Every structure is written in structure tokens, then in C-alpha cells.
Amino acid sequence: MQANIERIRAFIFSNFLFDADEGTLDNDASFLEQGIIDSTGVLELVEWLEETFSMKVQDEELIPENLDSVNRLTRFIAQKTA
């Protein structure tokens, strides 16, 4: 779990925040509300999930409840790879 949190954070930092300041991202912060990810960014995120965790994200799973924060992503990955 913790390892996935770190991987997600690293991905978000290098791809969307371009920032090394760890304090700038709360694990519960909404990517959309904070303007961290836009609509093309969500696709990029899904592509990364599928490649990194060898999983397939279905259309109906493309919802903020699964994808819109570090903690939500962590839970979603845990469910999908369980």
C-alpha cells in the first residue's frame, strides 16, 4: 500500500506538478479541484495505471471516486489488483 502511494505521488509530481516540493500535495486533495489534472491528464493517468499495474480500466470506472486523489487511486489499485 505505502509503496503504491509513493509510486503514485512520484508519477503525479513528475508528470503534472513538475515540482519537487513534497509539501505541495495532500493525499486527499482532489486532482481536479486543485487544477493538477485536466481532461487529457486523466487519460494520461489511466494509461500509466494500465501499464504500471498491468490492469485494465473500464469505461464505467472512469469516475472521480476511483481516480481523483492519491488515496482514491491507491484504493482503486488495491481493488483491481486484489
Partner 1 sequence: MCGIAGYYNLQFPPEISLSLLERMIWPLRHRGPDGFGFFQNEHIGFAHARLSIIDLEGGWQPICNEDKTIWVIFNGEIFNYIELREQLVRQGHQFSTNSDTEVLVHLYEEKGADFVKELNGQFAIALYDSRNKSILLARDRMGIRPLYYCQYKGRCYFGSEIKAIFSADPFLPRSIDPQVLQDIFTLWSPVGADTIFTGVLQLQPGHILVINRQGVGIQQQYWDIDYHGMVSNASEDELVEELRTLLIDSVRLQLRADVPVGAYLSGGLDSSVITSLIRHYTTNPLRTFSVAFEDAVYDERQEQAEVVDYLQTEHDQVVCSYTDIAEVFPKVIYHTETPIIRTAPAPLFLLSALVRKHDYKVVLTGEGSDEILGGYDLFKEAKVRAFIGAHPDSACRAILLKRLYPYLALSPIKSASYARQFFATNVQPETDLLYAHQPRWKNGQFLNRFLSDECIATPYSPVEKVAKSLVGRLEGQHFFTRAQYVESKLLLPNYLLSSQGDRMGMAHSVEGRFPFLDHRVVEFAARIPVRLKMKGLNEKYLLKKAMRGLLPEAIVQRKKQPYMAPDILSFFGATPPPYVEYLLSRENLNRSGLFNADLVANLVEKCRVKARQGFRENMAFVGVLSTQALHEQFVENWREDCPQTLKNTRRVIQ
| Interface residue list for partner 1 (CB under 8 A) | 14-15, 17-20, 32-33, 35, 38-44, 46, 59, 62-65, 67
Q: Judge contact between 41 and 12, C-beta under 8 A.
A: no
Q: Judge contact between 45 and 37, C-beta under 8 A.
A: yes
CB nearer to partner 1: pick between 2 and 23: 23
Q: Smallest distance from the beta carbon of 80 to partner 1, in angstroms?
A: 16
Count Cα neighbours of 72 within 13 Å in the Cβ-side half-sphere: 15
CB nearer to partner 1: pick between 2 and 59: 59
Q: Smallest distance from the beta carbon of 57 to partner 1, in angstroms?
A: 10
DSSP class of 28: T
In 10 A of CB 77, how many CB atoms? 20
Q: Smallest distance from the beta carbon of 19 to partner 1, in angstroms?
A: 6
